[in-house]
C-alpha cells in the first residue's frame, strides 16, 4: 500500500551520500517538531524530535535543525542507505495542544 500520492517532492541521492530534507512549518506558536519516516504499506515511524528551545538535535545518523526565525526545519541523514528510501514527513505540535500538523512529505530515493 502506498503511503502518499504521485506528486511529492522527490530527493534522489546516491548511497553513502548525505541527505538533507527540508520542511517549512506553518505556525509560529508551534513548540515541538517531529520527523517521521513512512515506508510503503506502513504507518509513519518516529525518527527524531526537537523542542522549540533547541536549534539542533542529533540522533543516530540523523540531525534535525530548527530555524524559528524563518519557520524552517531540516532533517539531515548521514551516509544514506537504501533502507532510508521512504517518504519523510515533518510534523508540528501546536502550542498547548496534542494536535500534530503534518507537512506534505518528501520522497527520498537512494540509488546505488
Partner 1 sequence: KAGVTQTPRYLIKTRGQQVTLSCSPISGHRSVSWYQQTPGQGLQFLFEYFSETQRNKGNFPGRFSGRQFSNSRSEMNVSTLELGDSALYLCASSLAGRLQETQYFGPGTRLLVL
Sites of contact with partner 1 (CB under 8 A): 1, 3-7, 31-32, 34, 36, 41-46, 49, 51, 89, 91, 93, 96-105
Question: What minimum distance in Å lies between the beta carbon of 3 and partner 1?
Answer: 7
CB 68 within 8 A of CB 52: yes
Residue 77 or 105: the one with the smaller Cβ distance to partner 1 is: 105
Of the two residues 10 and 14, which places its CB atom closer to partner 1 in the complex?
Answer: 10
Q: How far is the CB of 19 from partner 1 (least distance, A)?
A: 21
Is the Cβ of residue 35 or residue 84 nearer to partner 1 in the bound state? 35
In the structure grid, which three cell numbers stand for residue 87, read together?
517518504
Shortest approach of partner 1 to residue 71 CB, angstroms? 18
Reading the block at residue 93, the C-alpha cell is 505540535
How far apart CA 29 and CA 46 sit, in angstroms, is: 22
Least gap, CB of 48 to partner 1 (angstroms): 10
Quote the distance between the C-alpha of residue 96 and its chain's center: 22
The residue (of 87 and 110) whose beta carbon lies closer to partner 1 is 87
- Angle subtended at Cα 61 by Cα 56 and Cα 64, rounded to the nearest 5 degrees: 25
Burial 37-59 (b: 16+ CB within 10 A, else e): bbeeeeebeebbbbebeeeeeee
Amino acid at each position: 500500500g502506498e503511503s502518499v500520492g504521485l506528486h511529492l517532492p522527490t530527493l534522489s541521492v546516491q548511497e553513502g551520500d548525505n541527505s538533507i530534507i527540508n520542511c517549512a512549518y506553518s505556525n509560529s506558536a508551534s513548540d515541538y517538531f517531529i520527523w517521521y519516516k513512512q515506508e510503503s504499506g506502513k504507518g509513519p515511524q518516529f525518527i527524531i524530535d526537537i523542542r522549540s528551545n533547541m536549534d539542533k538535535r542529533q540522533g543516530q545518523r540523523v540531525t534535525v535543525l530548527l530555524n524559528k526565525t524563518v519557520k524552517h526545519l531540516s532533517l539531515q541523514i548521514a551516509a544514506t542507505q537504501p533502507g532510508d528510501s521512504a517518504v519523510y514527513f515533518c510534523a508540528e505540535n501546536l502550542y498547548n495542544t496534542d494536535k500534530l500538523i503534518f507537512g506534505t512529505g518528501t520522497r527520498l530515493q537512494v540509488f546505488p
